């Protein structure tokens, strides 16, 4: 038996590199997966590739009404919601001098407010589960940049620090309310995705950028989307049954 047989999951930012890897790993472990993304073309393609275990749900994670509709779709199609993975996020590198208010607000909306909305709507559905159902899992995404700061990520780091605090608060609320919901976060280091390349500065070579990244990771390399997906599967499974309010560092020692 697979670790997540019969459980239902909603993954945001599912069409991105990490999101796609998470969807694939959840399906591999027996879950039914709602592939949620604002990019309909990529999302539909992934859902079709995953077969009968997946469906696409169009979701702008900054919009409360779309969150409500997405959760309703998942519960009506799959019969419930056991796992929420708040993967969606963007990166706009900037120092405090380069940053604009518009970019600050956009980063906060996509990275932090989306996690707030996802947690809020998921808890509302998950809190009524009975003792015969598996404990639900909410998994948010922080970042090593919420712990180890750089001048180039003033706003981004702030959004991920906000998600870190939100995760712990929601975890405590659910535990003290007696809800059968665990709430944790994954804290990735540098992961080989298209989003990571947004940090390459004009005039900087790929080799120079990635060599600097590797130096910041004591393990001697950057990570892969599958390694993050493996951590998500662990947190979603019963193997993490005594974990809530944790920020699981999967960062090659970057924050050690």
Can you tell me the distance from the alpha carbon of 74 to that of 69, in angstroms, rounded to the nearest whole number?
A: 9
Active site (annotated) includes residue 209: no
Radius of gyration of the chain (CA): 18
Could you tell me which of 43, 63, 188, 195 has the C-alpha nearest to residue 121? 63
Can you tell me the distance from the alpha carbon of 91 to that of 122, in angstroms, rounded to the nearest whole number?
A: 25
Could you tell me which of 225, 212, 255, 93 has the C-alpha nearest to residue 159? 93
Catalytic residue among 115, 140, 156, 189: 156
Q: With beta carbons less than 8 A apart as the criterion, state whether 188 and 250 touch.
A: yes
Q: Which DSSP string corresponds to 123-166?
A: HHHHTT--TTSPPEEEEEE--GGGTS--TTBHHHHHHHHHHHHH
**For the range 107-110, what are the long-range contacts, defined as Cβ-Cβ under 8 Å and sequence gap of 24 or more?**
107/155, 107/156, 107/158, 107/159, 108/155, 108/158, 108/159, 108/162, 109/62, 110/61, 110/62
Element (H, E) at 36: strand 32-37
Distance of CA 69 to the CA centre of its chain: 19
Element (H, E) at 11: strand 8-11
The residues that are catalytic are: 156
């Amino acid at each position: 038996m697979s670790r997540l047989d019969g459980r239902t999951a909603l993954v945001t930012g599912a069409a991105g590199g990490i999101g796609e890897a998470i969807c694939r790993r959840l399906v591999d472990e027996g879950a039914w997966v709602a592939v949620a993304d604002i990019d309909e073309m990529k999302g539909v393609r992934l859902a079709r590739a995953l077969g009968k275990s997946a469906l696409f749900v169009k979701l702008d994670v900054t919009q409360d009404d779309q969150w409500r509709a997405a959760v309703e779709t998942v519960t009506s199609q799959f019969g419930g919601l056991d796992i929420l993975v708040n993967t969606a996020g963007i990166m706009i590198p900037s120092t405090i001098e380069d940053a604009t208010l518009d970019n600050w607000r956009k980063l906060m909306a996509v990275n932090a407010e989306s996690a707030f909305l996802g947690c809020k709507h998921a808890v509302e559905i998950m809190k009524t589960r009975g003792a015969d159902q598996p404990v639900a899992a909410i998994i948010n995404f922080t970042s090593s940049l919420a712990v180890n700061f750089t001048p180039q990520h003033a706003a981004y780091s702030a959004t991920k620090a906000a998600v870190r605090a939100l995760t712990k608060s929601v975890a405590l609320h659910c535990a003290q309310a007696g809800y059968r919901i665990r709430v944790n976060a994954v804290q990735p280091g540098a992961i080989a995705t298209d989003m990571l390349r947004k940090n390459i500065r004009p005039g900087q070579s790929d080799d120079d950028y990635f060599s600097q990244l590797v130096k910041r990771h004591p393990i001697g390399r950057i990570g892969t989307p599958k390694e993050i997906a493996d951590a998500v599967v662990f947190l979603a499974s019963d193997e993490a049954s005594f974990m809530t309010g944790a920020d699981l560092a999967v960062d090659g020692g970057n924050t050690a």
